[in-house]
Amino acid sequence: MAHNMARLCIATALILLAPLAGQKGFTTHVMSLIGWQESSLREALGNASITSFGEVQGTLVDMVLTGAGGDFISLSSDGDNFYLCHYDFNGTKKWLISHPLGRTTRKVERLVVSEDGTAIVVQGGDQAIESYANWIFDGTGSLLFSDVDASGIYYPSPNGDHFVRDSDDLDGQLEIYQRDGSPIEFNLPDRFASGKVKERFVDDDHLLIYQERVVDSSRIAELILVDFPSLEIKWSHQFDHRMGGGNFNLDYSAISPKYICTIMPGSGLTVFSRRSGERLWGYADIGWWRDLAFDEEGEILYFLTEGKFLNIIDIKAKLVTDSYRLFDYGNAYGWSHLTFTTHGLVFTNSHLVAHYTDANGVKKRTVGMGSVLVRTNNQNQVQEVMVIPGYALYQTFRDRKEFYLIKQSGKKIERLNLR
């Protein structure tokens, strides 16, 4: 295993306290990016280092930090097959499996792993024609079941024992599967017997369900928390506007021990008490939203709008405290993650566009895969922003605070360790 202290191109931001048009109700601060060298990264983050390991088969698609001691699982593809590889924290390969894509599957796109690492879902297909493929493996790489001609994608429960199929075609159905691929038969309550239904696991014992249905000739939309598997309703909330089931996805929600926050068209940002379902606060004027995440205490919410504005919300005070224009932003269809860590807020995008000036005063522009580390003070004000081109924060768990930035370098995986 080699430790390569490669030259990283880092950009750090200065804050200009200038209001920016287009953001309402609070001051927007403009960030000016200045390039720094790798030594500045080490000084700012302590014992940052780069580890080079593995031998990627084809092109790296996704990588997940599992729930077991900092192990990693990588997904790569060469166009004919996809490959899953399990590494321990030191980069030692535990196992590698390959699987054919098949004639109808164009590509694999995403890797989802249960929090305990016992269930691995490879998602692929062609979203343009709403044709999906799902392969579900156990924690040793053995195939449990597959659905390669599906109209939706599968997500595991945190303990890996159950899987929901997230689709727009589920009319009056809750599709939940066991580890052998067999569906669970439910005696559905009347309220779930018709209408569009979408669900995701909040934890092993609760489902968050979005439902659109018609009552007395009126279409209503509700968010419902139920016990699993009894489906006993804990709470429900009826929205003022029909949001469209295709936009309900826990990837576009944030969950803390106290709160559940959702962003949906028509109703904006809404914060609920996780325990009672009480609507605590709403903010309708959010513009074009992208990602959101809670801080470590679950009291401060961060969300990105229009791909470049970072907005900070104090949940208790029920107000947007500040907004920061972080960087220029490109392809709206690029995937992204927003995660809070011990080092700060990390945003990764597959088509990041950032302008900055390096240490020699040369103006530069980075386009493509990249990450942004945002550091705040005790008053939740942004102090500095580091742009790290090429490195991505792939999927991680909401309760993991350490993080690692990843990029493919030739056939090797380079991991930027920030612990």
Which range of 90-104, 162-176, 374-388 scores highest in mean pLDDT? It is 90-104
Which has the higher per-residue pLDDT, 109 or 34? 109
User: pLDDT at position 400, please?
Assistant: 52
Q: How confident is the model at residue 47 (pLDDT cuts 50, 70, 90)?
A: low
Give the torsion sign (CA, 191, 261, 297, 158).
Answer: positive
Structure token pair of residue 381: 């004000």
Give the pairing of strands 28-36 and 319-325.
parallel
pLDDT at position 404 over 60: yes
> What are 315-352's pLDDT values in tens digits?
887 777 777 777 665 443 456 677 777 777 887 777 77
User: pLDDT at position 395, please?
Assistant: 58
Which range of 59-68, 151-160, 297-306 scores highest in mean pLDDT? It is 151-160
User: pLDDT at position 10, please?
Assistant: 42
Which range of 142-146, 172-176, 314-318 scores highest in mean pLDDT? It is 142-146
CATH of range 2-418; options 2.130.10.10, 1.10.1240.10, 2.40.50.100, 2.10.25.10: 2.130.10.10
Q: How confident is the model at residue 12 (pLDDT cuts 50, 70, 90)?
A: very low
Nearest C-alpha neighbor of 350 from the set 325, 364, 327, 329? 329
Give the torsion sign (CA, 21, 26, 27, 28).
Answer: negative
User: pLDDT at position 366, please?
Assistant: 73
What phi and psi values does residue 252 have, to the nearest 5 degrees?
Answer: -105, 30
DSSP string for 303-372? EEETTTEEEEEETTTTEEEEEEE---B--TTS-EEEEEETTEEEEEEEEEEEEEE-TTS-EEEEEEEEEE
Ranges of each domain in the chain: 2-418
> What are 247-269's pLDDT values in tens digits?
555 667 788 889 998 877 666 78
| pTM exceeding the 0.95 threshold for the entire prediction | no
Q: How confident is the model at residue 77 (pLDDT cuts 50, 70, 90)?
A: very high
3-class DSSP state of 41: helix
Percent of the chain with pLDDT over 90: 21
Taking residues 134-152, report their average pLDDT.
Answer: 91
Taking residues 275-296, report their average pLDDT.
Answer: 79
pLDDT at position 152 over 90: no
Average pLDDT, the chain: 76
> What are 355-396's pLDDT values in tens digits?
766 666 777 777 777 788 887 888 778 877 777 778 887 655
pLDDT at position 137 over 90: yes
Q: How confident is the model at residue 16 (pLDDT cuts 50, 70, 90)?
A: very low
pLDDT at position 84 over 60: yes
DSSP string for 188-251? --GGGSSSEEEEEEEETTEEEEEEEEEETTEEEEEEEEEETTT--EEEEEE-SS---GGG--GG
Nearest C-alpha neighbor of 352 from the set 375, 335, 376, 338? 335
> What are 223-254's pLDDT values in tens digits?
899 999 998 999 998 876 554 444 555 667 78
Q: How confident is the model at residue 205 (pLDDT cuts 50, 70, 90)?
A: very high
Alpha-carbon span 202 to 268, nearest angstrom:
21
Cα–Cα distances (Å) from 413 to 37, 89, 348, 371, in that order, read 21, 13, 17, 16
